[in-house]
């Protein structure tokens, strides 16, 4: 069962990272690196599945995949760079 959770979480991570690369830059900014974003998605999904499986235990496949989805979205969103010019403080 854990094999299916791992495979599902990697696929969720790929889908989230590909979707973020396709739709988010127009609205929220640019990603630092396309390859970094595509690699972060599956890694974050696998980490989220491991975290969810260790906290929830066996038999909670959908909840584990939900945790993997949440962790993936959180970590991929950290890679976004704000759109526009960076703001400078008055003291700098």
For 16-65, write each residue's pLDDT tens digit. Answer: 999 988 887 666 667 778 889 899 999 999 999 999 999 999 989 999 99
pLDDT of residue 89: 66
Q: Which residues of 40-50 are buried (b: 16+ CB within 10 A; e: fewer)?
A: bbbebbbbbbb
The token pair at 29 is: 């900014």
- Summarize the confidence of residues 83-90 as an average pLDDT: 64
**Per-residue CA distances from 17 to 11, 22, 40, 73 (Å):** 10, 9, 7, 8
pLDDT at residue 83 is higher than 90:
no
The per-residue pLDDT for 24 is 73
């Amino acid at each position: 069962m854990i094999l299916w959770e791992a495979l599902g979480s990697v696929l969720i991570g790929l889908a989230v990272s590909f979707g973020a690369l396709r739709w988010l830059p127009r609205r929220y900014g640019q990603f630092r690196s396309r390859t970094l974003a595509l690699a972060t998605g599956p890694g974050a999904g696998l980490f989220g599945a491991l975290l969810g499986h260790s906290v929830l235990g066996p038999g909670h496949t959908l909840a584990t995949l939900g945790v993997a989805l949440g962790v993936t979205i959180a970590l991929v969103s950290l890679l976004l760079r704000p759109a526009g010019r960076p703001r400078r403080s008055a003291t700098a």
